[in-house]
């Protein structure tokens, strides 16, 4: 029987295995990245390290050049220090705005349809990568824009960090109305049954993590009133865990923080003025603290462009000081920290400035870097494939100029090159003077 050419193409289309049999399997992509120094986040500082990469994963780390496979592409970053791709556990990637002159950011958010927001957000995604952040946990979006963006990044349609997203954050009805800002209506839930429904809806939509707002306080508002009761918080925590999801709980104040910790939250966001008993309980349970100190600094620097009314500054400045003081106490008490920027509007690219606050709070630069690598990976439930440079981990690497272990600013300001999943996504090495 004679098979016509078009029929044969149709058969290939229906039975892709036949087509595969016709051509050899694609060769694995092999890369060898050389660093002068390498901090692997697992306690070792390498000299003249070579990271061998196969496709999107790290195959091994060596110092022996003869381990480099013959056909590997060699990327020589010998004049830089390598660190793992960093993780920011608190972003709002799709609440991105640009700096069009005369266009305050808050009104932009209500004007832009969801598709426009996601399209614009690719710029923030790139700036996030440029800061050395290759993974984010995104904690609150409107209309499931975060899920769309996560999937577009995973499909290679947007270049950006790997995203773990929450869909709508749960809020009580009394969340303060923000003139000009769309309230996240999809996340409103009052009472235990509604909380259960809202958690299940986020899971059904494809959320990776659950977010709940247990207190007031956001933007230029630094009030700290608890919104959800202990029973409501506990219901959300248990429902999230039942689906194998972790939960992040927002509380600006000590009361929501106390109940969130007692209810078993995986991470506590912002919490300022926490009492000693709550801090002790966090240390005992291993609850992650994500203080997000720097986002209020960003609000103070940019309030006019955002569109806040004048007069909020003194309260916000005082909040920052108390936020830092709470972080200092928590660090001293042995609480685990994860780095979260709360990046929003035009803050993308400033994600790692939080690390400088952690050093101010008493951490060594290495301890600070752990909050954005191994600690953050543990909080994501990805301790075995994210946040370190070791065999089997995703090939997420950052080259910085200088020694980040003696000066945290090197990690914050001197990022020169970034690889995510084995692909080079940022390369500013040619911009540096040649040696």
Binding-site ranges for Zn ion (CB under 5 A): 342
Assigned token pair, 50: 């070579």
Q: Could you give the dihedral angle defined by the CA atoms of residues 154, 236, 143 and 386, in that order, rounded to the nearest 10 degrees? A: -20
Q: In this structure, are residues 185 and 177 in contact, taking their beta carbons and an 8 Å threshold?
A: no
Least CB distance to Zn ion at residue 297 (A): 15
* Residue 335 · residue 279 · CB < 8 Å: yes
Nearer to Zn ion, 77 or 260 (CB): 260
CB of 59 to Zn ion, least distance (A): 37
Relative to beta strand 415-420, strand 246-250 is: unpaired
Measured CA to CA, the distance from residue 288 to residue 380 in angstroms comes to 11
Contact 31, 57 (CB under 8 A): no
Of 266 and 342, nearer to Zn ion (C-beta) is: 342
CA distances from 147 to 108, 208, 215, 394 (A): 21, 9, 25, 21
In whole angstroms, the minimum distance from the beta carbon of 250 to Zn ion comes to 7
Please check whether residue 50 is in contact with residue 63, taking contact to mean a CB–CB distance below 8 angstroms: yes
Provide the token pair at 43: 């306690």
Residue 212 CA to residue 204 CA, distance in Å, equals: 16
SS3 per residue for 284-301:
HHCCEEECCCHHHHHHHH
Kindly tell me which of 294 and 342 has the beta carbon lying closer to Zn ion.
342
Per the CB < 8 A criterion, the answer to whether 416 and 75 are in contact is no
Smallest distance from Zn ion to CB 125, Å: 17
Shortest separation between residue 283's beta carbon and Zn ion, angstroms = 24
Nearer to Zn ion, 220 or 342 (CB): 342
Nearer to Zn ion, 219 or 401 (CB): 219
Distance CA 144, CA 66 (A): 49
Secondary structure of residue 186 in the 3-state scheme: helix
In the complex, least distance from residue 110 CB atom to Zn ion, rounded to whole angstroms: 18
Closest CB 139 distance from Zn ion, rounded Å: 5
Residue 46 or 298 with smaller CB distance to Zn ion: 298
Q: Which is nearer to Zn ion, 208 or 342 (CB)?
A: 342
Q: Is 143 within 8 Å of 113 (Cβ atoms)?
A: no
Q: How far is the CB of 292 from Zn ion (least distance, A)?
A: 7
Inter-residue contact 135 to 386 (CB < 8 Å): yes
Buried b (16+ CB within 10 A) or exposed e, 392-415: ebbbbbbbbbbebbeebbbbbebb
CB of 271 to Zn ion, least distance (A): 13
CB of 270 to Zn ion, least distance (A): 8
Q: From the CB of 281, what's the least distance to Zn ion, in Å?
A: 23
Residues 6+ apart with CB under 8 A from 379: 89, 137, 246, 266, 267, 288, 338
Quick one: 342 or 378, whose CB is closer to Zn ion?
342
Written as six digits, the tokens of 293 are: 């100190």
Give the CB-nearest residue to Zn ion: 342
* Continuous segment of H or E residues that includes residue 356: helix 354-360
State the Cα–Cα distance between residues 219 and 134, nearest whole angstrom.
26
């Amino acid at each position: 029987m004679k098979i016509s050419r078009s029929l044969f193409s149709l058969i290939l289309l229906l039975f892709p295995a036949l087509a595969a049999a016709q051509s050899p399997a694609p060769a694995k992509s092999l890369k060898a990245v050389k660093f002068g120094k390498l901090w692997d986040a697992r306690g070792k500082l390498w000299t003249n390290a070579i990271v061998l990469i196969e496709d999107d994963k790290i195959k091994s780390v060596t110092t022996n050049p003869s381990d480099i496979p013959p056909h590997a592409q060699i990327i020589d970053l010998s004049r830089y220090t390598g660190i793992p791709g960093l993780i920011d556990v608190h972003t709002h990637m799709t609440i991105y705005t640009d700096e069009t002159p005369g266009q305050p950011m808050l009104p932009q958010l209500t004007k832009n349809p969801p598709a426009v927001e996601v399209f614009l957000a690719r710029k923030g995604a790139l700036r996030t990568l440029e800061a050395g952040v290759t993974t984010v946990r995104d904690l609150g979006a409107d209309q499931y824009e975060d899920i769309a963006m996560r999937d577009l990044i995973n499909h290679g349609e947007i270049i950006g960090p790997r995203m773990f997203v929450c869909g709508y954050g749960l809020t009580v009805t009394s969340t303060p109305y923000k003139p000009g800002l769309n309230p996240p209506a999809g996340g409103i839930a009052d009472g235990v049954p509604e909380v259960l429904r809202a958690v299940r809806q986020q899971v059904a939509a494809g959320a990776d993590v659950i977010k709940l707002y247990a207190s007031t306080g956001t933007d230029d508002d630094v009030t700290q009133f608890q919104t959800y009761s202990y029973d409501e918080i506990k219901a959300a925590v248990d429902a999230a865990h039942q689906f194998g999801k972790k939960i992040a709980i927002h509380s600006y104040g000590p009361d929501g923080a106390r109940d969130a910790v007692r209810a078993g939250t995986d991470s506590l966001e912002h919490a300022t003025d926490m009492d000693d008993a709550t801090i002790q309980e966090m240390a005992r349970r291993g609850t992650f603290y994500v203080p997000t100190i720097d986002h209020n600094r960003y609000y103070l620097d940019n309030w006019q462009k955002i569109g806040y009314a004048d007069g909020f500054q003194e309260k916000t400045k005082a909040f920052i000081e108390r936020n830092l003081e709470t972080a200092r106490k928590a660090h001293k008490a042995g609480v685990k920290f994860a780095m979260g920027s709360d990046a929003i509007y035009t803050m993308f690219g400033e994600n790692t400035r939080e690390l400088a606050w952690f050093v101010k709070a008493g951490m060594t630069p290495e301890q600070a870097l752990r909050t954005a690598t191994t600690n953050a990976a543990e909080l994501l439930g990805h301790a075995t494939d994210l946040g370190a440079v070791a065999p089997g981990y995703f090939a997420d690497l950052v080259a910085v100029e200088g020694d980040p272990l003696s000066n945290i600013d090197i990690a914050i300001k001197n990022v020169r090159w970034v690889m995510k999943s084995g692909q080079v996504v940022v390369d500013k090495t040619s911009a540096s003077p040649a040696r």
